[in-house]
Amino acid sequence: MIVSIHQPNYLPWTGLINKIAQSDVFIIFDDIQLPRGKSYIIRTKIKTSNGSKWITVPVKEKSKLLKINDVQINNNINWKEEHCNKIFENYKEAPYFSKYFNKIEKIIKQEWVLLNELNTELIKIILNILNIETKIIFSSEFNIKLKGTEKIIELIKSAGASEYLTGMGKGSERYTLGNEELFNKGKIEVKYHEFVEPKYQQINGDFVSNLSIIDMIFNIGDKETNKRLILNGVVSN
């Protein structure tokens, strides 16, 4: 059984959805400290007639000591209308927009207190749209007090998995590089996820990469998105 682990990004980009699709179990890493700076946990990119633009969920506090599952949304700012309006204005002419927008909008406009819960529900509806049946669980469910690589290994074992699918970036490699002996001792095989983002027909000009998965869904629909996600995910040892 293959497990992947990642923070709950807001309307995540295509690569994360691809990694989830390649996994049997996806663990939402919600009991670690909130990353510093402008994290993908609070923002995502959409395409406009003037290129890609960020949309950001305002939060009440971004202390480095705050865990992701404790981060509260600042609802004193009218971010829900802003995000839905921006998505509507920039994607209303997309071929599959009318089929899926209401599902995304319905979740965004619910009453949310915790960012983790909002992001998780958006990830779930995206997986539902794309008919991806990967099981989702939270790292906080296991109440593991370890840190770093040891925490990752214990999470994988607690989920009943023997294979760990990890990314190729610095954020992921810090748990694996130089720690091969720990994974071997835990009888866990490490697999590396390399995603080659496919180009597809977009509205508003030439192709722009690294956007939220909703761009792909609105432009080419669920079946074609699912097909391209499966074809473009590379797993290697």
pTM value is 0.93
Give residue 171's identity as a one-letter amino acid code. Answer: G
Residue pair 135/26 in contact (Cβ under 8 Å)? The answer is yes
Instruction: Check residue 193 and give its pLDDT.
Output: 87
By the 8 A CB rule, do 188 and 153 touch? yes
pLDDT of residue 100: 98
Query: What is the tens place of the pLDDT at every residue in 191-219?
Result: 988 888 899 999 999 999 999 999 999 99
Write down the pLDDT at residue 25: 97
Q: Are 18 and 232 in contact (CB under 8 A)?
A: yes
pLDDT value at residue 119: 98
What pLDDT was estimated at residue 138? 97
The per-residue pLDDT for 171 is: 58
pLDDT of the residue at 127: 96
Helix (H, G, I), strand (E, B) or coil at 34: coil
Tokens of 189: 């095989």
Phi, psi for 14 (deg, rounded to 5): -60, -35
The residue ranges of the chain whose pLDDT is under 50 are 235-237
Residue ranges of the alpha helices (H) in the chain?
14-21, 79-91, 97-108, 115-129, 148-158, 170-176, 180-185, 213-231
Q: Supply the pLDDT for residue 233.
A: 54
